[in-house]
Amino acid sequence: MTPDDRDPPRLTQPGPRVEVVPLGRVNLTAAHVVAGNLQALLGLAARVGEPRPDPEEALVANRGQYDARVVLEELAKGVGAPFRLGVTAVDLCLPFLDYVFGEAQVGGRAAVVSLARLGGGRGAAGVPREVMLERLAKVALHETAHLLGLTHCRAAGCLMSFSETLERIDRISLAMCPGCRVDLARRRRRIVGPDG
Amino acid sequence: MERQLSILVVDDELAMRESITAWLQKAGYQVAAAASGEEALGLMERHLYELALVDVKMPGMDGLALLEQVRRLYPETMVIIITAYGSIESAVRAMKAGASDYLLKPFDPEHLMLLLEKVGGQRRLLQENLALRRRLSEGECAGFEDLVGRSPAMLEVFSLIEDVAATDAPVLITGQTGTGKELVARAIHNRSERGFAPFVTINCGALAENLLESELFGHERGAFTGAVRARRGRLEMADGGTLFLDEVGEISTKMQLDLLRVLETKQFQRVGGTATLTSDFRLICATHRDLPQLIAAERFRQDFYYRIHVISIPIAPLAQRSEDILPLAEHFLDLYAREAGKVRPELDDQARRVLLAHPWPGNVRELRNVIERAVIVARGDRIGLAELSFLGTTAPATALPRSLAEAELAHIQQTLEAHDWNLTRAAAELGIDRSTLRRKLNRAGITRPGGGRR
């Protein structure tokens, strides 16, 4: 499957393109930070939707974590904005991975980001709140770009490079490399039109 | 040359298989999945996978049995065994049986990335090694540093480089802008006995006369306003090495006279200085201008011309050596993909045709820029028309020929254009005789636009 095969269909209806969904006990400010960044840096009209509980179907009891794929399936259900981005405070995992900071259906409808691990690192007390929110914004932008069909990039410092540790998230930029920027603009134009 | 790994995921558990596959695809890998060892071997018969991620516990043929088969039948495929925490002893057995590594479920993302990078690195080394061996054994593409070419014109240039490198004679390299004159000069220098001494370049066209003088000869402190300290000139810096004067056709006749004196005596003085300095350098000049014509117009000194063009190396424009276009494009693809740390994309057939048909007024430099840009905008592992759209090309799909005969004629015409209507070369590329090609053209009434055939 080439990246182009994963492109979602062209969207013609007006209105916000991304609904940021606060899940469970996540702080609403975090959802607003994410929506603002999507609008400012990806040029996608975004709004914060109604809070929902974390989907119980996704709980993996023996790991005390939530299966990110099941969360995405639940998020993708129902009508509304073409793209849904869940923001949760619970720890996410995949059947084969210890943990993920976020997950997305490449070229699909739903993505999710978790704050559970983003406050860690740099000593026992964790990091200041603004650092945590910047990490959250990076993961959210990265996962949303997956929704538009972008895959991982190997350019150093690019927002689309894979970040498996907090140190790597801190090292990457909020911006994309020139190649990903061109790709994003091309896909954005094709999928959501010039007005976001 | 870098392409993403081709990976086979073998796991009987659907959730594991699907989630690993999706995750690896998102990371840009080419991934296939099999639910059993038997299915995996079936897939491996049809496609060579560079890496197999194999779950150790499966009904029927288990992971260790599959590992054994893969080691025997496909030794170039690396195998990483996936085990649960409880079955560490099977991981040990797998390592003894030749697995490259093992992963404990659920994987630590950092560990998984490190493993994939390790496998990618090993494969890259292997490919580089193979490519080097192939180039050495087949002499597939005559290359001199960054000079790439297989056209008769470039092979002649390479042979001249070898010949003149052994001498100390001045060389004049001529050719249009962007043909790689400086690369030729560097190749001569590197192959000469002066190869370990400095290669000093100066672009005579880029500097005003007084600046050029001080750049070449150097200056003493206070020689002119702003000369707050003494400075060595390029002539001094080139001592023991090679001095490359680019765009030599742009320098004034007065400066030519000064240089002529230096060439004859190897002695000169800094601007504003009185001490006589000596420098032992080999001179290589380059120009895109027609120097005999400048001599006729009295804008270039004949005596200086004879002094600098003891040996002349003309470089043909890229349009006249279309055989070099694709090898150069492949060379730049390697270079820029490596520089950008991206997957090394391949040119598809349409892109190749577009590159062959383009007139390349900017020569190799233009081609290099085109490929650099295409590598930046390319997503995935292909460069097609979309990535070359800035060359002003349009998809031929918009005007596809209707019949097979029309398609044949369109292809013949495209090939002729690519070879500047040279029937011999076009026939060779089409894989037919020159006489067959001529007959086809006569039958279709095709003639060269605006002229006869070659």
Query: Does B276 score more than 90 pLDDT?
Result: no
Question: Where is pLDDT greater, at B188 or B2?
Answer: B188
In a domain, B339, yes or no: yes
CATH of residue B242's domain is 3.40.50.300
Q: B107: which chain A residues are within 8 Å (Cβ-Cβ)?
A: 96-98
What does the mean pLDDT of chain B come to? 84
- The structure's pTM equals 0.52
- Match 């739903």 to its residue by tokens: A110
Report residue B128's pLDDT band, with 50, 70 and 90 as the boundaries: low
Q: What is the dihedral of CA A120, A124, A130, A133, to 10 degrees?
A: 20
- For residues B196 and B293, state if they share a domain: yes
**DSSP secondary structure, chain A, as one string:** --GGGGPPPPP-S-S-SEEEEEBTT--HHHHHHHHHHIIIII---EEE---BPPPGGGEETTTTEEEHHHHHHHHH-SSSSSEEEEEESSPEEETTEEEESEEE-TTSSEEEEE-TTTT--SSTT---HHHHHHHHHHHHHHHHHHHTT-----STT-TTS---SHHHHHHS-SS--HHHHHHHHHHHHHHH-TT-
CATH of residue B425's domain is 1.10.10.60
Residue ranges making up the domain that contains B334: 319-391
- Would you call A98 and B106 a contact, using CB atoms and an 8 Å cutoff? yes
Query: Does B3 score more than 90 pLDDT?
Result: no
- What share of chain A in percent tops pLDDT 90? 61
Alpha-carbon distance B359 to nearest alpha carbon in chain A (angstroms): 27
In a domain, B10, yes or no: yes
Q: What is the pLDDT of residues B176-207, one digit of tens each?
A: 989 999 999 999 998 888 887 788 999 998 88
CATH of residue B103's domain is 3.40.50.2300
Q: B108: which chain A residues are within 8 Å (Cβ-Cβ)?
A: 98
In a domain, B172, yes or no: yes
Contact A149, B379 (CB under 8 A): no
Q: For the complex shown, is ipTM > 0.95?
A: no
- The residue-averaged pLDDT of B243-256 equals 93
Report residue A5's pLDDT band, with 50, 70 and 90 as the boundaries: very low
Contact B140, B148 (CB under 8 A): no
Alpha-carbon distance A75 to nearest alpha carbon in chain B (angstroms): 17
Burial class from Cβ neighbours inside 10 Å (0-12, 13-18, 19+) for residue B237 reads: middle
Which pLDDT score is estimated for B138?
Answer: 43
Report residue B355's pLDDT band, with 50, 70 and 90 as the boundaries: very high
Q: A146: which chain B residues are within 8 Å (Cβ-Cβ)?
A: 26
In a domain, B451, yes or no: no
Question: Where is pLDDT greater, at B377 or B86?
Answer: B377
- Would you call A165 and B110 a contact, using CB atoms and an 8 Å cutoff? yes
Query: Does B229 score more than 50 pLDDT?
Result: yes
In a domain, B256, yes or no: yes
Report residue B409's pLDDT band, with 50, 70 and 90 as the boundaries: confident
Q: Which of A66, A96, A154, A160 is most worth mutating to test chain B (most B CB atoms within 10 A of its CB)?
A: A96
- For residues B154 and B84, state if they share a domain: no
- Give yes or no for A59 touching B (CB within 8 A): no
Residues of A designated as active site: 143
- The residue-averaged pLDDT of B243-265 equals 92
Closest CB from A94, A152, A182 relative to B28: A152
Which pLDDT score is estimated for B28?
Answer: 82
- For residues B183 and B255, state if they share a domain: yes
- The residue-averaged pLDDT of B278-291 equals 92
Which pLDDT score is estimated for B194?
Answer: 86
- Would you call B342 and A162 a contact, using CB atoms and an 8 Å cutoff? no
In a domain, B35, yes or no: yes
Which pLDDT score is estimated for A13?
Answer: 58
Alpha-carbon distance B148 to nearest alpha carbon in chain A (angstroms): 27
Residue window 96-125, chain A: list those with CB within 8 Å of chain B: 96-100, 104, 106
B276, B292, B316 — which closes off a domain?
B316
Q: Which of B10, B18, B25, B26 is most worth mutating to test chain A (most A CB atoms within 10 A of its CB)?
A: B26
- What share of chain B in percent tops pLDDT 70? 90
Q: A61-65, B84-88, B197-201, B398-402 — which is least confidently predicted?
A: B398-402
Nearest CA among A16, A81, A68 for reference residue A42: A16
- What share of chain B in percent tops pLDDT 90? 34
Q: What is the pLDDT of residues B155-171, one digit of tens each?
A: 999 989 988 988 888 99
Q: What is the pLDDT of residues B4-42, one digit of tens each?
A: 688 999 999 998 999 999 999 888 888 999 999 999 999
**Six token digits for residue B164:** 């003149």
Report residue A86's pLDDT band, with 50, 70 and 90 as the boundaries: very high
Which pLDDT score is estimated for A170?
Answer: 93
Which pLDDT score is estimated for B257?
Answer: 93
- For residues B358 and B378, state if they share a domain: yes
- For residues B84 and B116, state if they share a domain: yes
Q: A175-184, B143-152, B272-281, B390-399 — which is least confidently predicted?
A: B390-399
Which pLDDT score is estimated for B399?
Answer: 45
Q: Measure the CA–CA gap between B68 and B414, rounded to whole angstroms.
A: 51
- For residues B290 and B275, state if they share a domain: yes
Which pLDDT score is estimated for B127?
Answer: 65
Query: Does B211 score more than 80 pLDDT?
Result: yes
B136, B166, B185 — which closes off a domain?
B136
Highest mean pLDDT of the ranges A9-18, A44-53, B330-339: A44-53
Alpha-carbon distance B438 to nearest alpha carbon in chain A (angstroms): 42
Report residue B397's pLDDT band, with 50, 70 and 90 as the boundaries: very low
Domains and CATH numbers, chain A: 14-191 (3.40.390.10)
- The residue-averaged pLDDT of B440-448 equals 79
CATH of residue B369's domain is 1.10.8.60
Domain count within chain B: 4
Report residue B449's pLDDT band, with 50, 70 and 90 as the boundaries: low
Closest CB from B82, B105, B110 relative to A164: B110
Report residue B390's pLDDT band, with 50, 70 and 90 as the boundaries: confident
In a domain, B452, yes or no: no
